[in-house]
Structure 1
């Protein structure tokens, strides 16, 4: 760990600089996404439109500004997704001075794993959960009522689930940070598995629409990722304890 201790004002200045870099990356990503807003929106809405079928036709826009502002939100969120590697890099670079040399060498694996895990969660939700969820919701159509969804509502549900699955798949990374910070260790996490499962199902219920399909498909991978995080804590927690002991021995000698 670095011996030099930066004053609080220097930490705040560094944090401001890194936030500015993240904002620049998001602006650039949003500008690029705006040029392909219709293609991106069409891709996101494909499972919902497929579930509606030929009878319902297309999504509805019932407010004069609904199409424009929905496209703006689509470009903004896509820009943030494009900027994820920069966001993860800046987050790691900010905390890296407080880590041990062995942990600093994990910077590239951290950025790569964080990006791939988020993308993997989003792809899993899009390809596996969205079709089942929208088919389930349109299954209540009858001769008396037919689903006619607005683009704003479908976009809100879709993006919320995209983010939910992406963030949920970051669970091993969160556990890694908690482990190297000494806040938790692997035995504590393992003993807390029943409570974690309960919290995961409650979180899945809050983040997903009120249907059991999306809730189960979000909760089950999160449980597996939590157990993976326990393994990560076991591996890196032991390395951190050894490096801390070596540093203390060096300081005493």
Structure 2
């Protein structure tokens, strides 16, 4: 006997088991809801980009309006020339833009941190939260190393070498390009210890790997030095030395971290064994 067919039920009668219905309304990405739809992440990323652009714009207006104050600091007494009226404004705009981006980096890092935090596990969150100030300090240290050591040494060395056979004229654009090349890359390279610690934190790098790959790492650092530093041996040596120190510092920090982790694990194991022995009694 065939079962009796029933008519289609209305929307109000379909959920007969009182099962929770799917909620299609999008929610804001929070730490409690890290698995939000892609559109929510795109909206948050758009917010990060807008806030970063606002921070850069504010700094740009401040810096561009104080050209007379910071220009002697940037030029550092170098004899630079301009080849036309438009080059003056182009130099001021380009320099103001570069400085404003540099000053906006702490704000941009904070905005990115707020964006990434919901999708990170607790282990990664703790590491990055404690590393942000260190990353900023290392970036500023790298910029200072490039500005006070690499830039003047390489610039005046190359100028003096050119003056032996030529009348050297350095335009404002060329000077600015040279200044950026000899400063910003070092701010990035000085992040090496933080990157190494993070890779070790997520179990992708060990001391054994770094020590066994030391000679290849030195060669890679030499190649990086040749790419970011001016083409003279003296500047290469001055630039390579702190990079090697940073690599060795990374090894020391990872060794120290591994010793702490081993001591903590041994302490926990000892406490666990003591607890088991106590429970057996």
Same fold per superposition (TM over 0.5): yes
The structure showing larger relative contact order (alpha-carbon pairs under 8 Å, at least 6 residues apart) is 1
Corresponding residue of 1:246: none
- Inter-partner Cα distance in structure 1 for 2:133 and 2:164: 50
Work out whether residues 197 and 254 of structure 2, in 8 Å CA contact, stay in contact via their aligned partners in 1.
Answer: yes
Corresponding residue of 1:247: none
Q: RMSD of aligned C-alpha atoms?
A: 3.0
Alignment of 1:68-79 (within 5 A): 68-79=89-100
Q: Which one of 139, 158, 161 corresponds to residue 140 of structure 1?
A: 161
Q: Which one is further off, 165-174 or 15-24?
A: 15-24
Q: Which one of 62, 73, 77 corresponds to residue 43 of structure 1?
A: 73
Q: Which one of 139, 142, 145 corresponds to residue 118 of structure 1?
A: 139
Unaligned 5+ residue runs, structure 1?
Answer: 50-57, 244-253
**3-state SS of paired residue (2:53):** helix
Q: Which one of 220, 242, 255 corresponds to residue 199 of structure 1?
A: 220
Superimposed CA distance per residue, residues 115-157 of structure 1 (whole angstroms, 9 cap, x where no aligned partner): 1111111111222222221231132255753322111111101
Corresponding residue of 2:184: 163
> How far has the Cα of 1:17 moved from its partner?
2.0
- Number of aligned residues: 233
- Inter-partner Cα distance in structure 1 for 2:210 and 2:216: 10
Corresponding residue of 2:112: 91
TM-score of the superposed pair, with normalisation by structure 2: 0.71
Q: Residues 96, 72 of structure 1: CA spacing in aligned structure 2 closer, same or farther, 3 A cutoff?
A: same
Corresponding residue of 1:21: 51
Q: Which one is further off, 99-108 or 66-75?
A: 99-108
Q: Residues 24, 154 of structure 1: CA spacing in aligned structure 2 closer, same or farther, 3 A cutoff?
A: same
Work out whether residues 121 and 167 of structure 1, in 8 Å CA contact, stay in contact via their aligned partners in 2.
Answer: yes
Work out whether residues 88 and 114 of structure 1, in 8 Å CA contact, stay in contact via their aligned partners in 2.
Answer: no
Corresponding residue of 1:5: 35
- Inter-partner Cα distance in structure 2 for 1:143 and 1:232: 47
> How far has the Cα of 1:66 moved from its partner?
1.1
Q: Which one is further off, 179-188 or 59-68?
A: 179-188
Work out whether residues 175 and 232 of structure 1, in 8 Å CA contact, stay in contact via their aligned partners in 2.
Answer: no
**3-state SS of paired residue (2:161):** coil
Work out whether residues 34 and 118 of structure 2, in 8 Å CA contact, stay in contact via their aligned partners in 1.
Answer: no
> How far has the Cα of 1:220 moved from its partner?
1.8
TM-score of the superposed pair, with normalisation by structure 1: 0.78
> How far has the Cα of 1:33 moved from its partner?
1.2
Q: Which has the larger radius of gyration?
A: 2
Alignment of 1:166-245 (within 5 A): 166-234=187-255
Structure having the higher helix fraction is 1
> How far has the Cα of 1:46 moved from its partner?
0.6
> How far has the Cα of 1:68 moved from its partner?
0.7
